[in-house]
Structure 1
Amino acid sequence: MRILIVGVGALGGTIATRGINASVPIWLATRSAQSAAVLRSSGLRVSGVGGPAEVRSVRSAAVEEYATADKFDLIVLATKAHDALEIGPFLARLLAPRGTLLCIQNGGVSQMLSERLGDRVVLGGLSNLGATMVEPGVYEQRNAGHLLIGEVAGGISDRAMNVAEALRPAIEMRVTANLAGAIWSKLLLNCSVTTIGALANQTMRGYMASAAGQQVFHRTYDETLSVALATGTRPERMIVDPVPPEGDRAPWIDQILATYGDIKPSMLQDFERGRRTEIDFINGYATELGRKVGVGVAMNAAITAMAHRIEAGEIRPDPARLDDLLRQAG
C-alpha cells in the first residue's frame, strides 16, 4: 500500500518516522519545497515514549509536486483543520481508484470532507498521541497513544480494517463503529484540556491546581457534553467515561491527568510560533452547535474569543486568563 502523509508536524512526523523506520512505504508532503528539502537533508528522528527511532532517507516533496506522481492507496491528512478543508479536494485527485483519504483532524473535518468528496473516499480518524515537534524532522513522543479510525457513516468496514493493518507498524491502531461518538469524546477533552492550558500557559496539572482552573475546566466540559448529547451523539469512552460521575469527580480527574496532565498543549505551541490555531474547530465548533440546539455555551464562547485575541497579539497566554474567563462567561 503506497501511503502519503500530508503534514509533517508533531503527529504526522511521529507516525511517519516510526512507520518508515518499520519499512512502511511512506512518502511525505510538505507545505513548501524548502521544507521538503530540509527533511530530505536532515531525515527524521523521534525520542521519548516508544523508544528512539531515526530515518536518514526520506521521500518528501511539496504537496503540489505529487500532482504528476504515481497515485496513492492511502493519504493520511495530518494538517491543521483549516488546511485540511482547503487541500482535501486536491488530495482526492492523488488517490488510486479505490484509494482512501484518512482525515485525523479535530472537530467535524471528516464529516465536512465526506460531504464534499463522498463516503467512499473519506475515512475519519482521531488520535490521542501526545507529541511535540522540537524542530522540523525532530519529534518527542510524550505518551503511547493510538489512532482510532472509522467510517463517517458508522459501522465497521473492511476498508477501515485494511487501513489499520497498514499503519499498525507506525502507531497502535483501533477501529470504531461509532466514529461520531469518538470524535465528540476527543472534542470534550480538547475543549476542556488543550485550550484551557494554552490560554493559561500551563499544563492541565498546573491549571487544575487553582480554584479558577478547576471552575473553568468543569464548566467547559459540562457545556460541551450537553451540546454532544443534545445533537443525539453517544460519546465513546476514551481516557475516561465521557459522562462524569455524580458527586466526587476527583478520581475521574486523576484518570485524565494520568494521560494529559503534563503534556504541553499543542495550541500553546501554535501561540508561541505565531500560527493560526484550530480554536474554531474545537471550542468554536461546540459554541456554534450549542447555539443551534439551544444549549448554553457561555464558557466555550469566552474561550473562543480569548484565543482569537491571543492570535491577534492583543493579549498573551497567562494564568490570569483563567479569572478573565470566569468574569467574561458570567
Structure 2
Amino acid sequence: MKIGILGAGSLGSVFGGMLAEGGHSVTMLSRSQEYTETVNRQGLFLTEDAEGKEDRSTTVRATKEYAELAGSELLIVLVNSFGTREAAKAALQAGAIGRETAILTLQNGLGNEEILQEIAGKERVITGRTYVSGRMLSPGRVMAAVRGCLTEIGELDGAQTERIRLVRDAFCQSGLETRIAGNIHSVIWEKLLVNVATGAISGITGLDYGGLYEKYGFGAPRELREIACKAVAEAMKVASAYQIPLSAVDPAEYWNRASKGQPPAFRASILQSLERGHRTEIDTINGAVVLWGRRAGVDTPVNEALTACIKGIEFRMDQERKKRG
C-alpha cells in the first residue's frame, strides 16, 4: 500500500517506520529540514530501548513538500490538532488527496474528524485512536512504545468496509496491533479520557510517567492521581450527556490505562510539546471537555483549571520568545 504520513513527529515516525518495515511504500511529511535530510540520508531509526540505543533502521522517504504525498492510497493524519485545518487544506491544494485516498486521523482530542470531512469530503475520512506512542530522541531517531499498545480504527458510521479491513491488515502485518471498532465514537472518547488523565498534569508538573505513577517506585504524590481522577470524572459526565457508551465506570481505570505499556521515561504529548517550546493540544483535550460540557450544561471546573494552567505556561513561553527577539 502507498501510504502518506501527514505529520512526521514522534508518533508519525513510529507509524511510518513500522509500516515501512511491513513492506509498504511510505512518505512522511515533516516541517523540519534537518529531519528530512537525516532520514533520507541514513534512514529512520526506531528503538524500544529506554536509553535510546539504536535498535534498527528502516528506509522511508521524508519530505517537506505536500505534493510528494500525491498518489497515497492512505493518508494518516498525525499533525497537532491545532494544525489540522491548515495541513488538510495544503494537502488538498497540492494534490496529495486523490479521488481514491482514504484519510485516517489518529490524532488526540475531539474535532479533527469534522475538520477533515469539511475540507476533504465525508466519504474520504475514517478515524481511530492509538495507544502506540513515541518520543523523538533526535531528528530521525525515535523511541517507540508499540508492544501491547492497541490501535482501534473504524468508519464513522460503523460500517465494515473493505478499505477499513485493508487498513487493519496493513497495520497488523507491520507489527501494529489493530482492530476495527464497531462504535468508533466511544473509542474516541475512551482515548480522550486517557489523555485528560495525564496530559495537562504532566505538562504542568514536568513529570514523566515515572514521576506520576506510584507503581514505578518513585514516590509520586497521591494528590496528582486524585486530581487526575476528578478531571476524568468530569469528562465522563460530559460523555454521558452525549450518550457516549464507555467501558468503565471508575475514573481511576483511565488513569491506569494511560500508563499501560509505557516506560517510566515516557512523557505525555503535552509535556513533550512544552519541552520543545511548542503550542500544545490542550484545546482539543481538557479544553474540549470544557467546551462540550458547556454545550451540555455540565460543569467542568477541574478541566477548566488544568486548561488555564497550560495556557498560562504557553503564554509565558511566548512572552519569553518575544523578549529574546
Determine if the TM-score, normalized by the shorter chain, exceeds 0.5.
yes
Mapping 1:140-289, distance limit 5 Å: 140-144=143-147, 145-170=149-174, 171-204=176-209, 206-207=211-212, 209-235=220-246, 241-244=247-250, 256-260=258-262, 262=264, 263-289=266-292
TM-score, normalised to structure 1's length?
Answer: 0.83
Query: Taking structure 1 as reference, are residues 116 and 58 closer, same or farther at Cα in structure 2, changes over 3 Å only?
Result: closer
Q: Quick one: which amino acid aligns to residue 218 of structure 1? A: C
The separation in 2 between residues aligned to 1:131 and 1:6, in whole angstroms, is 16
The separation in 2 between residues aligned to 1:54 and 1:167, in whole angstroms, is 18
- Give deviations 1:179-211, integer Å, cap 9, x for gaps: 111000000010112221221112345335323
The separation in 2 between residues aligned to 1:71 and 1:252, in whole angstroms, is 39
Moved more, 258-267 or 77-86: 258-267
Q: 1:95 aligns with which of 88, 94, 97?
A: 97
Q: Corresponding residue for 1:328?
A: none
**Contact 1:156/1:176 (8 A) holds in 2:** no
Moved more, 273-282 or 71-80: 71-80
Residue 212 of structure 1 and its aligned partner are, at CA, apart by 2.0
Q: Does 1:64 align with 2:70?
A: no
The separation in 1 between residues aligned to 2:257 and 2:192, in whole angstroms, is 17
**Contact 1:18/1:169 (8 A) holds in 2:** no
Q: Corresponding residue for 2:217?
A: none
Structure 1: give runs of 5+ residues left out of the alignment.
236-240, 316-330
**Contact 2:66/2:96 (8 A) holds in 1:** no
Q: 2:56 aligns with which of 49, 53, 58?
A: 53
**Contact 2:198/2:258 (8 A) holds in 1:** no
**Contact 1:167/1:173 (8 A) holds in 2:** yes
Percent of matched pairs sharing the same residue = 25
The separation in 2 between residues aligned to 1:226 and 1:135, in whole angstroms, is 40
TM-score, normalised to structure 2's length?
Answer: 0.85
The separation in 2 between residues aligned to 1:254 and 1:3, in whole angstroms, is 33
**Contact 2:19/2:170 (8 A) holds in 1:** no
Residue 26 of structure 1 and its aligned partner are, at CA, apart by 1.0
Name the SS for the 1:95 alignment partner.
Answer: coil
**Contact 1:200/1:207 (8 A) holds in 2:** no
The separation in 2 between residues aligned to 1:205 and 1:242, in whole angstroms, is 24
Q: 2:108 aligns with which of 96, 106, 115?
A: 106
The separation in 2 between residues aligned to 1:138 and 1:176, in whole angstroms, is 32
Q: Quick one: which amino acid aligns to residue 207 of structure 1? A: L
Structure 2: give runs of 5+ residues left out of the alignment.
214-219, 319-325
Paired residues in the alignment total: 303
Q: What is the RMSD computed on CA atoms of the aligned residues?
A: 2.5
